[in-house]
Structure 1
Amino acid sequence: MLEPLGVDATCELVYREMLTHPGEGVAALAQRLGLSREDVGIALDQLSSLALVRQSYEPSGRQRPVSPEVAMRILLERQSAELEAHQHRLALSRAAATQLIAEASEAMADPQQVGVELLVGIDRIREWLSQLATEIQGEVLTFAPDGAQTQDNMDASRPLNLGLLQRGVRLRTIYLESIRSDAPTLDHVRSLIRSGAEVRTAPLLPTRMIIADRRLAMLPVDDHDSGRGAVVFSESPTVQALHALFESVWERARVVGGAPPSSKDADLAPQDAAALKLLAEGHTVESIAKRLGVSPRTARRITTSLQDRLGARGRFEAGVKAVRRGWLPMRD
């Protein structure tokens, strides 16, 4: 019961027995629980390190358990501190990854680099896509992480997509789950499906991406600013790895027009699960809104609802309680 809070089964048994029979020593505890004295001694050391038992001021000098209320407060505060430290490490990791991407982007601009092309500006990207549309033979795979699509984007992509479908090219696209709440985007998607496209949705997508015929892959230099350009990889292990990433997300994504999530997922909808994961990682409401493809107001409503359902007063407590409920995995 207390394992999600860092207390293993043996320690919990010893702690509970000490609450029931305060003042007993190692030998008596071992006899009652059917454990060796060594096991009880190890458990007492661990409980002491967690501040769940303290040295008694009585002449016996034996250890005594803190009250369950104090124990829960100690354990929750400890978990909150660990979550905060984990979020700090995530922030540092994201900063390091951002730096790496920036350095890689500069390298990609090197015209001498084989198999990499840098496209600068929206016009250049659209020209490249128009040219690509005439060359594609078999399949186009797309991550579309912007949520509701703008009318300009839909108008620009529609003739290209329909032209590909008419030539027998297979189109597979993954949008964010949030498009199901946007009527114009959903109408656009359904129109593509009627023409032969395959479309699924996922709560989160790692990046914007297009893969053509498993030989070319285009990714943005900056997910938040398309105007900075895009990078095209060709005939490389990078393309193979990106293709594997797409297939992995596709397998878990939900078909548009398909069945709703199974009953085992009904306790937490896919979008709520994604929001909870981001909340526990330390994302702000604005960041969660961007990642889910919804408005800040909607993101605030989702996160507030999650905290209310968990009975949590803040994101750290929400993370702890979500782990205990099984909505988030336990950290190693």
Structure 2
Amino acid sequence: MPLGQHERGLFEEQAAPLYEEIVTSGGISAADKRITRSGELHQVFELLVDVGLVTKGEDGTQWRAVDPAAVQAQVVAPLGQQGAELIAESAHWAQAFSTLSHVWRRSPSAVGGPLATIRGVSTIGNFLDSLVSDAEEELLTAQPQYRRGVKQLDAGVGTRDIAALKRGVKMRTLYQHAARRGADTRKYVAAVTAAGAEVRTLDEFFNRLIVVDRRVALIPGHEGLDTAMVINDRSMVGYLVDMFERHWERARPFTSSETSLMRDIAAEQRAMTIRMLLEGRADPAGAKRLGVSPRTYAGYVADLKNEFEVETRFQLGYEMGKRGISGRETEEPAGK
């Protein structure tokens, strides 16, 4: 009888009590009607025989129990060997599919031409993991803070990115300035920069972008957070890379902790808040542009009111207009 989950359940629920009875009574008669072919315990008894927990006495009229310790290895060891063989075989199959997946992802026609939409958070995550694992030269990522929870920066993401860096893949990541306040983000940045990545932050808002080896790009889909667009067209990917490079040149290194740098970043966030106010942006839109929560954005506005000694936003706009403040000044902000 092959041993599997069904047999184990039968063993635990019915065979074990019968074995206990045989041990207690010193054996069971071969003529016991319960264990004969038509008996209610025939299948259970046959399982004990197959496993080797009972053996027939020399006279053939009595079945006696066998020490389980002497039988266990004969049953468990083969199962363990089968498990090891199945694990090894599954690894070989995974490698075979990985090779085919590598070919599939490199073929524009395989994903529906130069543009393709993928749906589902888990599907997107799995596709991205596979894409990064196939990276050979370069990873470019732009990660806006808006609606990006710190839970997304889990250990799996860090492990995946560090593995790519150890393979010799160059990695550059762009965040908004607001990312500097996140403890999990700082921890992630410390880990990847130690492995050779470059990380910078920028005051401007940008959409999420991931480019692998300058041959395929992943951007958000228009249908929402659970869709993404895969771009294989070299011209379009090149255009996105050019946009990334322009932002990168303006961004500031994340690794530095110099006071002067933090002062410059604060000035850039202040300037952006001023532009949002003068453009008449609602608080949620302004918060999104800066990559901060609405409460933090409201705090920035309150700081400006205190700075210009006004009480309302109307007065603030008037005062900034009177002083010629536009939020696009390149020099240090004028005093009050």
TM range (shorter): 0.5 to 0.7
Give the equivalent residue in structure 2 for 1:129: 128
Q: Secondary structure at the match of 1:300?
A: helix
Cα distance in 1 for residues equivalent to 2:162 and 2:233: 26
Give the equivalent residue in structure 2 for 1:283: 281
**Is the contact made by 2:270 and 2:300 (CA closer than 8 Å) also made in structure 1?**
yes
* Rg larger for: 2
Alpha-carbon displacement from aligned partner over 1:164-203 (angstroms, at most 9, x marks no partner): 1010101100111112122222112111111111101112
- The one-letter code of the counterpart of 2:116 is E
Q: Secondary structure at the match of 1:269?
A: helix
**Is the contact made by 1:177 and 1:201 (CA closer than 8 Å) also made in structure 2?**
yes
Give the equivalent residue in structure 1 for 2:218: 218
**Is the contact made by 1:136 and 1:213 (CA closer than 8 Å) also made in structure 2?**
yes
Q: Secondary structure at the match of 1:226?
A: coil
Alpha-carbon displacement from aligned partner over 1:257-316 (angstroms, at most 9, x marks no partner): 2265869x7596122222222222222222222332222221101012123323455556
**Is the contact made by 1:220 and 1:230 (CA closer than 8 Å) also made in structure 2?**
yes
- The one-letter code of the counterpart of 2:153 is N
Cα distance in 2 for residues equivalent to 1:133 and 1:254: 25
TM-score by length of 1: 0.58
TM-score by length of 2: 0.57
Cα distance in 2 for residues equivalent to 1:199 and 1:112: 31
| 1:163, distance to aligned residue in structure 2 (A) | 1.2
- Residue 237 and residue 314 in structure 1: after superposition, are their counterparts in 2 closer, same or farther (change >3 A)? farther
Do structure 1's residue 310 and structure 2's residue 308 form an aligned pair? yes
Give the equivalent residue in structure 1 for 2:255: 257
Cα distance in 2 for residues equivalent to 1:234 and 1:153: 26
Give the equivalent residue in structure 2 for 1:183: 183
- Residue 154 and residue 278 in structure 1: after superposition, are their counterparts in 2 closer, same or farther (change >3 A)? farther
- Residue 226 and residue 309 in structure 1: after superposition, are their counterparts in 2 closer, same or farther (change >3 A)? same
Give the equivalent residue in structure 2 for 1:295: 293
Pairwise CA RMSD: 2.9
| 1:215, distance to aligned residue in structure 2 (A) | 1.5
- The one-letter code of the counterpart of 2:145 is D
Map 1:238-249 → 2, pairs under 5 A = 238-249=236-247
- The one-letter code of the counterpart of 2:118 is L
Give the equivalent residue in structure 2 for 1:84: none
Map 1:1-332 → 2, pairs under 5 A = 114-146=113-145, 149-222=149-222, 225-227=224-226, 229-258=227-256, 260=258, 269-311=267-309, 314-315=312-313, 318-319=316-317, 321-322=319-320, 324-329=323-328
- Residue 164 and residue 267 in structure 1: after superposition, are their counterparts in 2 closer, same or farther (change >3 A)? closer
Cα distance in 2 for residues equivalent to 1:156 and 1:315: 44
Cα distance in 1 for residues equivalent to 2:141 and 2:212: 9
Cα distance in 2 for residues equivalent to 1:209 and 1:163: 20
- The one-letter code of the counterpart of 1:117 is A
Cα distance in 2 for residues equivalent to 1:272 and 1:120: 37
Q: Which has the higher contact order (CA 8 A, sep 6+)?
A: 1
| 1:234, distance to aligned residue in structure 2 (A) | 1.2
Structure 2 unaligned runs (5+)? 1-109, 330-336
Structure 1 unaligned runs (5+)? 1-110
- Residue 281 and residue 164 in structure 1: after superposition, are their counterparts in 2 closer, same or farther (change >3 A)? same
